[in-house]
Structure 1
Amino acid sequence: MREKNYGYSRQYIDEDDINAVVEVLKSNFLTTGPKVAEFEEAIKRYLGVQYAVCVSSGTASLHIAAICLLEKGDKVLTTPNSFLATSNAIVYAQAVPIFVDVDAQANIDLNLCEAMLKKDNTIKAIFAVDFAGNMVDPKGLSYLSEKYGVKILEDCAHSLGASFGAHKAGDCSFCDVATLSFHPVKSITSAEGGCIVTNSEAIAKKASILRNHGIVRNSSEFIYNDDNPLYFEMQDLGFNYRLSDVHSALGLSQLKKIDFFLTTRRKLAQNYDKVFDNTSIRPLYKNASSSYHLYVIRVNFKELGKKRADIMKSLKSKGIMLQTHYIPINAQPFYQKMGYNPLSTPKALEYYNECLSIPLYVGLEDNEQEFIIDAIKSEILY
């Protein structure tokens, strides 16, 4: 029997996850304790990076990473096709986002990035997003970094577990810093949580201080002396972005299952690929190395003669909840008030007008996926 609702994604929690959380609830630490450090070590091993700093959300990881990389007024190339947090982090750091149009896979177009870098040598960084779990070309980003001296942030909120050739998303082999999200619909979840990963000791140190109110507790780093054994110093304006042991326990348990999660998502994606092949339903991309955070299709609704809203409403009546990832960031009222115009990135706007994210998550059974496929086909193909 099918479930009542099929969202575009959802978390997968098993008894091991529940037991891991319960164990922490019975321990002496609920907030920042040994499980946070254990989770950070596990992330470092998985990605092969030198430093991992866990924080309270993916947005927090972007915020802190932006402060670590940018100065006030810095110009930053980024994509309009992302959740708002990516460009918001640039604004939080008092820097200036410059939206670059997308390529055929809805990732930031690196050729357009280079064209902008050639024209403006004051651009300081690129914030690239691995949209839907499909990595931006690491060689392309590395080339731009080396040739134009720009800093690179890889937003891996969608791509933990993905790879591109010999590069793994978040391994920092081609970027200064990468950010992770552990929101429930991501590759793994800690309920809420995020992480800054880097091979830079300076970035990791600053990130660790910023996540805890800007506080320094190491006496060798104090500016002033005080004989109070509990003395500490706030040396920067930081935030309460710490991750708890409860969240970290769940994240640790989930990370142990990431290979199973990836295999399952890729199999579901392949099922969709086969069904939609040679039809007017176009998968955004086909990539066996993607983490498939999302499965996105493109439909020319004008040619179809139907409104996307009507299709979404009809499928919702059958328990199938679709999503649109994303409304271009430069189309949002906040950014338009700042002077941005979605018409400046026409491919992103065209993509948005055609996109639908359809259900893909661990726990989706074969018969349930068949039900979803038949319902989508009946709305779009027949």
Structure 2
Amino acid sequence: MIFYGKQDINQTDINQVIDVLKSDFLTQGPMIEKFEKRVAKYCGAQYAVAVTNATSALHIACLAAGVGKDDILWTSPNTFVASANCARYCGAEVDFVDIDSATYNISVAELELKLKNTEKKPKIVVPVHFSGQSCDMERIYELAQQYSFIVLEDASHCIGGNYKDSKIGSCKYSDMTIFSFHPVKIITTGEGGMVLTNNKELYQKLLLFRSHGITRDEALLQGKSDGPWYYQQIDLGFNYRMTDMQAALGYSQMDRLDEFVARRRYLAKRYNELLQNLPLTLPYQAAGTNSSWHLYVVRLDFGKIKLSKKEFFVQMKEKGIVLNVHYIPVHMQPYYQQLGFKSGDFPVSEQYYEEVFTLPLYYSLTDEQQGQIVEALQKVLQCAV
């Protein structure tokens, strides 16, 4: 079976993890900071905080930004639920802005219109860089200055990607950026995530919220100390610490990040060539962006073929190809419908969901396997049209 995503672990990665297992520190050791500094330097950001996963990264980023029960977060419906849930963890409200029909990212035109016409403005906006392609961050940043909201980039799909003259993660047009290191992402730490920022005050808060709200920092303790063992809990934090084994794997994977992204870009370009004669809408890349291609998503009008979307997935699986869907719009989930959202609220996202599916794309996918995927698509669609 060819699945939609897959990690690539080599012997160097394994050796790095073994070295940590043989060391004095399995957690809270030196490898964490080494990994953080490496990612920050690669992206061009000042600070980075490694955590257990991208969900905890979103959570502590919201906490560091001061999001609370009287606030509201806006994000895209076309994302994993964590992009919205992070606000709910803080007791805040959530609302959505529909997507652009070409990029499937948050529509900046819709965002501007909603900002003009909504009385309660967002405390924080979370643009989601879907599939590896950046949102129009320069324009979003301009709106943030005009309407005084915080910008938190959900770049879970995007490490290694570019926006204009910067790496995604530089925080040039945002207050914070988060990455995911889940096994299907560009690089992996098993589970894991990271928050990047150029703001020292936010950085110090992120460190606190990552580890129980506890500090040993003499500056934060204002000179008070009973001895070298001394610490204080100065806020209510969480245990979101990454292990040194995970950080070692991530640090090693950074050696091949550009190689991983280059291969994905090659495979995406090859898909574009191989699929151009099929009745599919292929991915669109906006000017000024260079995607890291976490996902390769296409659209098919199932109303024009003899198969339902479910039947199509079954027939592809029978041919050894496991497809996926990214994403079910968040506002259509039962939890969010209980909060008052309903079908029809964000029609572009809903129409997209009816048509979209995700093709396999990962570093170790061979040209031959990609040919098998395209051949399977051709055969299934030939019988269905």
- TM-score normalised by length of structure 1: 0.96
1:342 corresponds to which residue?
343
2:369 corresponds to which residue?
368
Alignment of 1:160-171 (within 5 A): 160-171=159-170
Partner-residue secondary structure (3-state), 1:178:
strand
Cα shift at 1:223: 6.9
**Alpha-carbon separation, structure 2, partners of 1:248 and 1:265:** 23
Partner-residue secondary structure (3-state), 2:357:
strand
**Alpha-carbon separation, structure 2, partners of 1:300 and 1:312:** 14
**Identity level (%):** 38
Task: Decide which of 78, 82, 93 is 1:81's aligned counterpart.
Answer: 78
Change (3 A) 1:13 1:214: same
Query: What one-letter code is carried by the residue in structure 2 that aligns with 1:56?
Result: T
Cα shift at 1:376: 1.1
2:260 corresponds to which residue?
261
Indicate conservation of the 8 Å contact 2:133/2:285, yes or no: no
Cα shift at 1:190: 0.6
Cα shift at 1:278: 4.2
Structure 1 residue 120 corresponds to structure 2 residue 121: no
**Alpha-carbon separation, structure 2, partners of 1:186 and 1:140:** 27
Partner-residue secondary structure (3-state), 1:297:
strand
Q: How many residues align?
A: 378
**Alpha-carbon separation, structure 2, partners of 1:27 and 1:227:** 30
1:29 corresponds to which residue?
25
Indicate conservation of the 8 Å contact 1:80/1:101, yes or no: yes
Deviations, residues 201-224 of structure 1 (Å, cap 9, x unaligned): 011100001100110112342379
Cα shift at 1:200: 0.5
Partner-residue secondary structure (3-state), 1:283:
coil
Task: Decide which of 52, 55, 59 is 2:51's aligned counterpart.
Answer: 55
**Alpha-carbon separation, structure 2, partners of 1:202 and 1:264:** 38
Partner-residue secondary structure (3-state), 1:306:
coil
2:353 corresponds to which residue?
352
1:103 corresponds to which residue?
100
1:144 corresponds to which residue?
143
Partner-residue secondary structure (3-state), 2:152:
strand
* Residue ranges of structure 2 left out of the alignment (5+ in a row): none
Deviations, residues 251-308 of structure 1 (Å, cap 9, x unaligned): 0010110110001001111111011224311113246811110000100001112111
**Alpha-carbon separation, structure 1, partners of 2:334 and 2:229:** 47
1:312 corresponds to which residue?
313
Cα shift at 1:140: 1.5
1:72 corresponds to which residue?
69
Structure 1 residue 184 corresponds to structure 2 residue 183: yes
Alignment of 1:204-219 (within 5 A): 204-219=203-218
* Residue ranges of structure 1 left out of the alignment (5+ in a row): none
Structure 1 residue 159 corresponds to structure 2 residue 158: yes
Structure 1 residue 250 corresponds to structure 2 residue 246: no
**Alpha-carbon separation, structure 2, partners of 1:23 and 1:186:** 24
**Alpha-carbon separation, structure 1, partners of 2:46 and 2:315:** 49
